[in-house]
Amino acid sequence: MSEAPTPAEGTARLNTAVAHNARVWNYWIGGKDNYEVDHRVGDHVASMFPVIRDIARADREFLGRAVRFLAAERGVRQFLDIGTGLPTADNTHEIAQRVAPDSRIVYVDNDPIVLMHARTLLTGAAEGVTDYVDADVHDPDTIVERAARTLDLTRPVAVMMLGILNFVLDTDKAREIARRVMAAVPSGSFLVLTHPTFEPELGGEGQIPAMQFWNENATPPITARGRADIAAFFDGLEFLEPGLVSCSQWRPESAAPVVVPQFGAVAVKP
């Protein structure tokens, strides 16, 4: 692992005076890697928009279902997880390597607290490979270049972009990021993506004031998008059933999952 800084270097970049998404998200799903400021902001957002904790859990559960499906049913053995956030139970490499121990996983993030947990991320099955790239989602070419040191980009890759393009505020830029990453992987690769929405059909109206509060009190800034803009991230790809739906409703394991205002989908590159 040559890209991740040492814990000391990560600490130098860590700002515990301002709430940060990776830590607040970790707090919402019951993790321990967060601070008092993250609790305060997280609790206030949850008081404005109580379903946010359901969104956090549903997003995490979607990741598990998608990775298991791709590894077990589609034979995917390579995963590029962009914006992975803090490690918790059942990270991408753990899920994939339970199905296929020889799976290769590259995590991408640029948050200092994630960097400090890189060793946790890098404890995978001996038969496979798990690596970490310190890079920003706004720089897809660097992501692809560094991921190629671990992944064979002539073979299918599942690109995981869960809750990350919502931090790219310019929609055209976000679309270009998805396009450039998917252009670098071959036919038979997959895009796995979730994104918050303000669509009333999913109960998303409350996202707008909650995100406004977030943007005034935490970092990085975030945006929700409508169905059409989120669907455009999949241009040139073919949706797997059931298409673009609330992430909790993508191949659910329970009969009546809670509908959350977070779209999720898996699509294949023809």
pTM for this prediction: 0.89
**Digits of tens for pLDDT over the chain (270 positions)?**
333 333 333 333 556 788 888 888 888 888 887 889 999 999 999 999 999 999 999 999 999 999 999 999 999 999 999 998 877 778 999 999 999 999 999 999 987 777 777 666 667 778 889 999 999 999 999 999 999 999 999 999 999 999 999 999 999 999 999 999 999 999 999 999 999 999 999 999 999 999 999 999 988 899 999 999 999 999 999 999 999 999 999 999 987 788 999 999 999 999
pLDDT at 160: 98
pLDDT at 111: 79
The residue among 267, 269, 268, 246 whose CA lies nearest residue 61 is 246
Burial of 244-268, coded b for 16+ CB within 10 Å and e otherwise, reads: bbbbbbbebeeeebebbbbbbbbbb
pLDDT at 88: 76
Cα distance between residue 4 and residue 145, in whole Å: 15
Lookup: tokens for 33: 């890697």
DSSP three-state, residue 239: strand
Half-sphere exposure of residue 98, counting CA atoms within 13 Å on the CB side? 10
pLDDT at 33: 79
pLDDT at 122: 66
Element (H, E) at 147: helix 140-147
Sequence-distant (≥ 6) Cβ neighbours of residue 19 within 8 angstroms: 37, 38, 40, 41, 42, 217, 218, 219
